[in-house]
Amino acid sequence: MFDFTPIVERASIDEMYMDFTGCESLYGNDLPALMTTLRQLVWKEFSLPCTIALGSNKYIAKIAAGTVKPAGVCFVPHGEEKNFLAPLPIDVLPGVGTKTAPLLREKGFRTVADIQRTSRKQMNTLLGEVGTHLFTIANGEGPDALTVDWERKSISREETFDHDIGDISQVTKILHSLSEDVCSTLRSYHWKAKTVSLKLRYADFTTLTRAVTIKPTEDDTVVFVAVNELFRAAYSRKKLVRLLGVRLSNFSDREGGELDLFPGDGRRSQMFDAVDKLRKKFGDDVIHVGS
């Protein structure tokens, strides 16, 4: 999932939250379509059903996912949270369990709309802090920041093709695009990478991985040259390609590494900062760095 957004919170062994804030332009400002794509990718890669919901906060996403299990997709537009929740039974709210549900029903609460029609003070009087908490959720509010307690070890991007390809010029173009993607994410962390890896899957599903160690870099072109050389050394011209992937690892701080040997290195870093800002504002294809 880190291939799609840098912020992921693992909630359980089979559940996670992903924060796409600021990533909208990367996916054509159509995150609902991306949710469908993600579900299809999980099925294609692992043959497992996957439920995905998109909402403005964690509670909305969790509740929405529960309404389309075991293999659905649900999108709750921002501003429609209360309307979405209103007709649902009170049991969908996190915190309404075997003890709370009978008490609420005894007081006349059947749907989330019943809680919405009351007040925060009344819910607090009825259930204390739990009541206040339920009133907040029922009205579509909840945490929108993820808890991330991991140290990222790698950054990768992969592309699986609808049709197997054998055109080297097309492969080169894709490798260049993947290199741009991983380097852009790398710079967002203010890191440089020392290990560049290639993932190559043929049409018969034979999969190869190759890696090379280079001088720590954040440069699109340097990474592309390295991964392109790995590809050309590994590629069998008798086979079509189904998947390509580029992975960066072995990170160091951007400002804490070795001094640049040439003054132009610092100016090139500034150039990439400007490139990243343009891509974030206008989309990935607005500008490319020569390969």
Q: What is the structure's pLDDT at 257?
A: 47
147 domain residue, yes or no: no
How many domains, the chain?
3
- Confidence label for 51 from pLDDT (cuts 50, 70 and 90): very high
- Whether residue 92 contacts residue 130, with contact meaning beta carbons closer than 8 Å, is answered with no
**Dist CA 218 CA 205 (whole Å):** 31
Do 44 and 103 belong to one domain? no
Do 281 and 169 belong to one domain? yes
Q: Measuring CA to CA, which residue among 14, 187, 17 is closest to residue 5?
A: 17
- pTM of the full structure: 0.53
Do 30 and 112 belong to one domain? no
In this structure, which amino acid lies at residue 67? T
The stretch 194-222 carries a mean pLDDT of 93
**Dist CA 263 CA 235 (whole Å):** 37
Q: What is the structure's pLDDT at 236?
A: 80
pLDDT at residue 266 above 60? no
237 domain residue, yes or no: yes
Q: Which residue has the higher pLDDT, 148 or 32?
A: 32
Do 174 and 281 belong to one domain? yes
> Which CATH number is 42's domain given?
3.30.70.270
Q: Measuring CA to CA, which residue among 191, 187, 185, 183 is closest to residue 253?
A: 191
Task: Say if strands 207-217 and 191-202 run parallel, antiparallel, or are unpaired.
Answer: antiparallel
Sequence-distant (≥ 6) Cβ neighbours of residue 195 within 8 angstroms: 211, 212, 213, 214, 248, 249, 250
- Whether residue 208 contacts residue 164, with contact meaning beta carbons closer than 8 Å, is answered with no
Do 41 and 100 belong to one domain? no
> Which CATH number is 167's domain given?
3.30.1490.100
Q: What is the structure's pLDDT at 239?
A: 87
Which residues are catalytic, by number?
15
Do 166 and 268 belong to one domain? yes
Q: What is the structure's pLDDT at 287?
A: 52
pLDDT digits (tens, 9 = 90+) for 214-265: 999 999 999 999 999 999 999 987 789 999 999 999 999 876 544 444 445 5
Q: Which residue has the higher pLDDT, 23 or 286?
A: 23
Q: Which residue is associated with the tokens 């992903």?
A: 18
**Dist CA 222 CA 181 (whole Å):** 13
Q: Which residue has the higher pLDDT, 132 or 5?
A: 132
Q: What is the structure's pLDDT at 204?
A: 86
Q: Which residue range forms the structural domain that includes residue 53?
A: 7-75
Bond into 70 cis (ω within 30): yes
23 domain residue, yes or no: yes
The mean pLDDT value of the chain amounts to 86
